[in-house]
Amino acid sequence: MIFKKIITAAIMLGTFSLAQAQGSDWPVVKSSMKPWVRWWWMGSAVSDAEISALLRQYHHAGLGGVEIAPIYGAKGAESAFIPHLSPTWVDRLQHTLATADEIGMGVDLTNGTGWPFGGPQVTEEYAASNIIVNTFSVSKGRNTLEISCKDPKQKDPPLISLLAYGPENQKIDLLKQVKGAKQLNWTAPAAGWTVYAGFLGKTRQKVKRAAPGGEGYTLDHFSGKALQAYLKPYQEALKTQPRHPRAYYNDSYEVYGANWTAELFDYFQRIKGYDLRQYIGEVFGDVKHSNRDRLKADYRDIVSQLLLENFTKSWTSWSHTMGSVTKNQAHGSPGNLLDLYAAVDIPETETFGSSYFPIQGLRRDSADVRKVDPDPMMLKFASSGAHVLGKTLVSAETFTWLTEHFKTSWAQCKPEVEQLFLSGINHVFYHGTTYSPADQQWPGWLFYASVNFVPTNSLWSHLDGLNAYVTRTQSILQSTANDNEVLLYWPAQDIWNDDKGTLKSLTIHNIDKWLHPSDFYKEAVHLQTSGYSFDFVSDELLKGMNADGDQWKLKNSNMDLSYKVLIIPKVEYMPVETLEKIIEIAEQGGKVIFHQLPADVPGFKDLDKRRLIFNKILGPLKNKRRIVIGKGEIVIGNDIVNSLSEMNIRGESLIQKGLKFIKRKKGDQTYYYVVNHSDHTIDEQIIFQTKASSWKIMDPLSGQVGKAQSDKANPNQVRVKIRSGEALFFVADKAVQPALADWSYLDHQKGEVQLNNNWSLQFAEGGPVIPQSKQLYKLQPWTSLSDSIADNFSGKAVYSSQFEMTEVLADKHYVLQLDTLYESAKIRINGQDAGQIWSLPYSLPLGNILKKGTNTIEIEVANLMANRIRQMDRNGQKRQDYYDTKFVNIDYEPFRADTWSVMPSGLAGRVIIKIYD
């Protein structure tokens, strides 16, 4: 229990309450609730003074923490490079931690440099390994063969298996007959025999994008001994230091070609009960076998277990001894993603590329986006791993390659981060910001992949708007608990049981192969479009659950879970132990729905015996629709939604109206985070599936809170009005809420004031040259003024004007509406800060800032970096060069912006103040 408290404290290390509060209806802000950012230390060329200055800039912009990622360096800065884990490097880390503590920020640390784990401490013995299977043809009679590896990259790898296969599927183990320098003298009994030799090889993969002092071989992730050897330098350098990072971080699994470890044969035999050495031709060669898919499934299952036990769990245990927790991206692994995510303290997913949202006015240039869309179902593997074990935080590497370099607006970021929130993520990490010394030529040091959340970004001073929105949203998502009612079983064995290939790497880039075609995925999409909120569960995670009547619980902690039913999609293979657990949960009172009964058991050993047990369990369930079993029930039928309705478990109807949601709970309150990513305003009476006495609406963009309109006869029927691009929290309370002002639905527009007077345009800061001020007779972008200096300008400019208000009434609502904005605006009216407009639909409630008579308005607009970068390339200005990689575009081709068109910048169309009752 004491150890558990230590770990909880470590997770919360970066989340102590800050002075900032959001108002009594919003949670007090903690640093974990703010967005964090990946912080690339290029060449680890960092200084104490610059670290302090940059951290304060990040804090001022509204960031809550940094994740240090040592990386390759900038050419020309070699004298400033600091070797990884050297005394000087450790001093810089300690200064970072101390400064962050002082200003209320958190710090995570990549447990390596570049990716994946590896470095100079990884000897060949502990480097990523593979099994290399070579074949040798033999003739009848006496044969003398030199059994040597045919891969020229290998350095005399150990021979670990040697089998002779006959023409009629005979096998002879020849390993013990190899003499001396791997020489085999063997008499083949007949013609047509082939010898299969297995060698313990090395992939020779090196750390990608390594920082100075971090170069070396990639780690063998399946070996516990290799992991401990890898971690030893970190322990020696950091264990006795006074401060420690909140979390150690591991990036996505990108260990290419690794499929073996020295102990695999013995581990396999201990777990599976038979010797894999006798099947290397079937698993790693082209030898046919009636159960070849089962043999491969067993092998894949063992690799998954080795990765889980020898790497993920062992690494987490080590981190705890260091006073920190772990944050891990499991995707890409050749293992059970749910188990791997669940085994760490903070599971982390990532978005790569950009999704399409039909939001009115949202810019999406096909030339500036990658041809890949983040899939919410992939994101849910990480959040499910956290939810089913009651973990507080689920993180995400956010906005990787959202758009082309220098072309990303905060408006484009908003729906993408909302999709993460809707998928159960509540702790986002922007990708990313690069440490860059202040004396570097603009735009400073930059990482090769966008987005560039850096102080030199012309939108940087407006980042606080996006950050405030993320903070308010995450403050609720972190202060509440998961309230998904459905568990959906993920049949990993259906992926493992395939006779093609060796390992199955479950990456975000190949989901079209392993996820999208599956019945599991189709069922998940069907549940989502039917209004159900759900998590995924694995065989292993299901073992840790019980039911007490209809209350699902975690077995070890007795923690209550929100789930009401377990759904088994169409499954081919299910372990006997899983089926037994499902029956046990039903007997305890749990509800279970089978799309259809599973067909068979996975694996090779004792197949007939296990099938007998399996079918005996299934016997009472066959040819039946509904079975009462113990205190619970099992329903079998291919219409899952109909079965759920029969159990009085119904989806939320707001999905059918075009809205998206996630549901959270805290005490007697249920929080619906509702998002409109459609192309039109949605205004509907929605009947929610939560009983409540009262409802309120909370706007994470503005911070406004008000009482929702609900039906007196049916309090669960609530009016939901959300414009295209907006998101709101709808909060159901079982108790009657204290007096709260009514939410303004802005139904009845009583008038408007169009700001059609002349405008003054004054350029504030930016470059490369500050343009001259302008007098405008109509509102227009500064890139439409036939001014080449303005065309090349990236920075901020202020549009100012005056307007008349004949009256300003306390019972009216005044809303500023911009037609077109490129890209973000901060508003001042009568010398007072009125707020910021940075996302669609470009509007801002004005409160009581207006006055009768003459009013002044100043609209500070920040544009993209694109035009200045374009001008640099057109002028042939040299861009910073880096070790290890070139600065590339979104298609990984050499970056150049000289052919770009000028990106519109400033304001266009009308500026209107709308007046509502």
* 564 and 500, same domain (yes or no): yes
CATH code assigned at 699: 2.60.40.1180
Quick one: 152 exposed, middle or buried, by C-beta within 10 A (0-12, 13-18, 19+)? Answer: exposed
- Lowest model confidence (mean pLDDT) among 11-15, 79-83, 664-668: 11-15
| Domain termination site, one of 610, 645, 680 | 645
The terminus-to-terminus CA distance of the chain in angstroms comes to 57
* 765 and 632, same domain (yes or no): no
Residue 590 included in any domain: yes
Distance CA(27)–CA(12), nearest Å, equals 16
State the average pLDDT over residues 504-520: 96
| Domain termination site, one of 645, 665, 698 | 645
Residue 765 included in any domain: yes
User: How many Cβ atoms sit within 10 Å of the Cβ of residue 549?
Assistant: 10
pLDDT at 22: 58
Give 444-513 as a DSSP string: ----SSS----TTSTTGGGHHHHHHHHHHHHHHHHHSEE---EEEE--HHHHH--SSSS-----TT-HHH
* 492 and 550, same domain (yes or no): yes
* 609 and 734, same domain (yes or no): no
Spell out the residues 6+ positions from residue 311 whose beta carbon is closer than 8 angstroms to its own: 221, 222, 224, 227
pLDDT in tens, 1-46: 333 444 444 454 433 333 344 567 899 999 999 999 999 999 999 9
Q: How many CA atoms lie within 13 A of 877 on its CB side?
A: 16
> Domain containing 501: what range?
484-645
pLDDT in tens, 745-795: 999 999 999 998 799 999 999 999 999 999 999 999 999 999 999 999 999
Percent of the chain's residues with pLDDT above 70: 97
* 908 and 809, same domain (yes or no): yes
Residue 29 included in any domain: no
* 771 and 637, same domain (yes or no): no
CATH code assigned at 519: 3.40.50
Mean pLDDT of the chain: 95
* 754 and 855, same domain (yes or no): yes
Residue 814 included in any domain: yes
* 694 and 773, same domain (yes or no): no
* 604 and 732, same domain (yes or no): no
pLDDT in tens, 196-219: 999 999 999 999 999 999 999 999
State the average pLDDT over residues 508-513: 94
| Domain termination site, one of 588, 610, 645 | 645
Residue 682 included in any domain: yes
* 593 and 500, same domain (yes or no): yes
C-alpha 853: how far from chain center: 51
Spell out the residues 6+ positions from residue 220 whose beta carbon is closer than 8 angstroms to its own: 126, 127, 128, 129, 226, 258, 261
* 753 and 727, same domain (yes or no): no
Give 562-622 as a DSSP string: ---EEEE-S-SB--HHHHHHHHHHHHHT-EEEESS---B--SSTTHHHHHHHHHHHHGGGT
Q: Residue 232 pLDDT more than 50?
A: yes
pLDDT in tens, 288-319: 999 999 999 999 999 999 999 999 999 999 99
Residue 907 included in any domain: yes
Give the CA angle between residues 766, 772, 775 to the nearest 5°.
120
C-alpha 413: how far from chain center: 14
Q: Residue 898 pLDDT more than 50?
A: yes
Handedness of CA 123, 125, 130, 136 (dihedral sign): positive
Q: What is the pTM of this model?
A: 0.96
* 829 and 764, same domain (yes or no): yes
Give 744-799 as a DSSP string: -----EEEEEE--S-EEEEEEEEESSPPPPEEESS---GGGSS-HHHHT-EEEEEE
Residue 380 included in any domain: no
Residue 244 included in any domain: no
Report how many domains make up the chain.
4
